[in-house]
Amino acid sequence: MRNKLFFLVILFLITISCEQKTGISGLSKGTSINKRVEHLLKKMTLDEKIGQLNQYTSRWEMTGPAPENSDSMFMYNMIKKGQLGSMLNVVGANAARKVQTWAVDSSRLGIPLILGYDVIHGLKTMFPIPLAEAASWDPQVAYTSSRIAAEEASASGINWTFAPMLDIARDARWGRIMEGSGEDPYLGSKMAVARVEGFQGDNLASENTIAACAKHFAAYGFVEAGREYNTVDISEYTLQNIVLPPFKAAVNAGVATVMNAFNTLNGTPATMNIHLQRDLLKGDWNFKGFVVSDWASINELILHGVAANKKEAARLAITAGSDMDMEGNVYIEELKNLVENNEVDETLIDDAVRRVLRVKFELGLFDDPFKYCNPKREKEVVFSSKNLAASRNVARKSIVLLKNSEGLLPLSKTGKKIAVIGELAKSKDVPLGSWRGKAIPNSAVSLLEGIENVVGTQNVTFAKGPVYIKNKRGFTTELEINTTDRTGMKDAVSVASKANVVVMALGEDCFQTGEGRSQTNIALKGFQLELLKKVFEVNKNVVVVLMNGRPIQINWMAEHVPAILETWFLGSQSGNAIADVLFGDYNPAGKLPVTFPRAVGQEPLYYNHLNTGRADKTDMVFWSHYTDESNAPLFPFGYGLSYTTFHYSNLKLSSKELLPNGKLTITATIENTGERTGEEVVQLYVRDLVGSISRPVKELKGFQKIKLKAGEKKEVTFELSAKDLQFFGAENRWKTEPGEYRIWVGTNSAEGLESGFTLK
């Protein structure tokens, strides 16, 4: 008997110690995640469940309006009571360890926090802004930068990034256009998958991978008039065919989380949108991860006029499938009462909690809550020379050569006097871009430094020209652009007049784009155009290096200046990457992921538009046009030059007919007709000529980046099946329609060899 008692006590002790060792779930690592989730869920009180759905920013960094409670004791108490499931903006291995220790050691169930941060284009090693990376038309580029961003973030306590942003954007006025992959759903989907795979790797539980977050679900890029947070009113047709494909692709690639959006969509805010979150995302697409609200977007339901108070807002959001409340304090304050008064079914809470816990289990947080909190790894990995080298490579692949008449580029490395002009040329900060994570201020290689690294300082003279941004930058409401002080103009013109060639940096300050930075005017601001014109008067050999996060209006420049490089904001190695291109060590191959307009009044301007009934009656006034500007873009989607030239020929289709279950093979020969090795992005477009509803004049259906030596030829092959021609039609379903199709293989969306086929 005594032995038996002794045995039972030992068994009890072993069970307790196992429970501690195997993590808080009480079930060991080998058990399926679903079982572990259910086991844990059973132990949780309603308060603890709701706690898992609550997320606060650290009080030491904010990326939205400041919260009321600003002390860390408050935070500690919330965590201790199990009332906080996640934090954002806690960065650094030590900071993360601190809050994670609170969660694991002080709360009843010891459930670890999931720690999110906006790692958009790098943590400390900055990569090009996402729009720039999309200009590479090379998913491997986006994969590499996301992979390294994840390595740096995961070494710095972060296990969840609020990226990639998958909002298709057709309007250059919208400041967040810099954060996505541009205007096209096909290119956007390829980049989406690459980024999700880069952040999440093969295994979310590895110590160097983090959960990704596809945002903003959905249609945030379609805000009216490009004004931030504005109304979105688009058809189901546009939603399904244009907006959603990158999200669907990300879900298919296994994205762990999704963030909803601030905007209303056809009257219903995304945050309470059952159609988006329940029917599509969690229904048709079978998304198993969780949805986080955008910053206080649940509270904003009140301002949208769809909820009278926080209680209603909470009910609407949880019913619609918004699982976690970012910084809103709505779920934590309201959900319990709602459940107790039978206004919200507890099964809804359970579903949301299951989703959050599942991602935490998948990250391996229950098995080792501190795996992302290793200061040694942080020191080794973050901002390493290896990462900087990768950033330079990604950066040069993101550059688009917009013009190069008279073969001004590449520049000779010797014997020429170079004038480097413009404030942006010397800036070590602007190239870091907006949404810059933990970038060290002024840590980028400036354009001037990049040039001097190649040719030395002897033949290089810098002149700043008039100051562009006066003083306010960053999280201020307005940029103070200098419009009165011309100091520096004369000096810059004089420096330009003495040089053989002028390299001029023009464009935007990086904080002209990003969240909250919509603009009605996308022309060069301040005295930039005047400076350019004056410089051009004294020296015609001008190379403009553009730095900007949106398409900008550059008509005069495009007409007069012989060479223009679009460099966006390229990150830490900006100057070196640009110099690689300027001096021909790298032959540019980027292509525009967005249309460049001639005037802001053309916006939204995009290549895959519908035809009008009055598209070509150009001999009278009654056709679809502007009376003061052409309809045509300045530079079309997919446009970009190289230092060599490519000739397209021999477009062949395997058949004139495509059968419903068949495949069509399309081939074309591309020849490098210039004198250098170069890369070309070969693009495939189609048009469905007669549909049950009007179909776009062109749609991108494939692209390939090929490298050809001077004189070399290659046959490029694409395949199309009926599935690739599917669209979401008026009957509210995806379908293909038999009929005639046109097809183009070309160098951009406006040029190409043309043929046609019939879909049977």
Chain contacts with ligand BGC (rule: CB under 6 A)? 63-64, 88, 118, 162, 215, 294-295, 515
**Active-site residue among 118, 171, 294, 509?**
294
**500 vs 491: CA distance, rounded Å:** 16
**441 vs 439: CA distance, rounded Å:** 6
Shortest Å, Cβ 261 to ligand BGC: 8
Q: What is the DSSP letter of 601?
A: G
| CA-closest candidate to residue 489, choices 533, 431, 427 | 533
**710 vs 643: CA distance, rounded Å:** 11
Place of tokens 């603890």: 48
3-state class of 447 per DSSP? helix
| CA-closest candidate to residue 142, choices 395, 329, 365, 342 | 395
Nearer to ligand BGC, 118 or 680 (CB): 118
Instruction: Identify residue 437 by its one-letter amino acid code.
Output: G
Q: Are 749 and 636 in contact (CB under 8 A)?
A: yes
Nearer to ligand BGC, 138 or 294 (CB): 294
294 is catalytic: yes
Examine residue 216 and say whether the peptide bond preceding it is cis (omega within 30 degrees of 0): yes
Shortest Å, Cβ 295 to ligand BGC: 4
Measured at CB, which residue is nearest to ligand BGC? Answer: 63
Angle at 183 between CA 636 and CA 696, to 5 degrees: 75
Instruction: Identify residue 556 by its one-letter amino acid code.
Output: W
Nearer to ligand BGC, 223 or 349 (CB): 223
**535 vs 503: CA distance, rounded Å:** 10
| CA-closest candidate to residue 175, choices 546, 432, 434, 349 | 434
Got the DSSP string for 152-197? Answer: HHHTTT--EE---B------TTSGGGGGS--S-HHHHHHHHHHHHH
**295 vs 215: CA distance, rounded Å:** 12
Q: Which two tokens stand for residue 429?
A: 């900060």
Nearer to ligand BGC, 214 or 503 (CB): 214
Shortest Å, Cβ 162 to ligand BGC: 3
Shortest Å, Cβ 446 to ligand BGC: 28
**662 Cβ neighbours under 8 A, 6+ residues apart:** 655, 721, 722
Shortest Å, Cβ 360 to ligand BGC: 19
Nearer to ligand BGC, 294 or 423 (CB): 294
Nearer to ligand BGC, 162 or 606 (CB): 162
Shortest Å, Cβ 126 to ligand BGC: 17
Nearer to ligand BGC, 131 or 592 (CB): 131
Largest pairwise CA distance in the chain: 107
DSSP percent split of the chain into helix, strand, coil, nearest 5: 35, 20, 45
Place of tokens 């308060």: 47
Place of tokens 């966006």: 568
3-state class of 150 per DSSP? helix
Q: Are 53 and 349 in contact (CB under 8 A)?
A: yes
Nearer to ligand BGC, 64 or 756 (CB): 64
Q: Which two tokens stand for residue 292?
A: 């986080």
Shortest Å, Cβ 65 to ligand BGC: 9
Shortest Å, Cβ 346 to ligand BGC: 29
Shortest Å, Cβ 21 to ligand BGC: 35
**417 vs 643: CA distance, rounded Å:** 22
Nearer to ligand BGC, 64 or 92 (CB): 64
Shortest Å, Cβ 427 to ligand BGC: 25
Nearer to ligand BGC, 212 or 420 (CB): 212
Q: Which residues of 275-295 are buried (b: 16+ CB within 10 A; e: fewer)?
A: bbbeebbbeebebebbbbbbb
**421 vs 425: CA distance, rounded Å:** 7
The answer for 225, left when phi > 0, alpha when psi is -120 to 50, beta otherwise, is left
Q: Which residues are catalytic?
A: 294
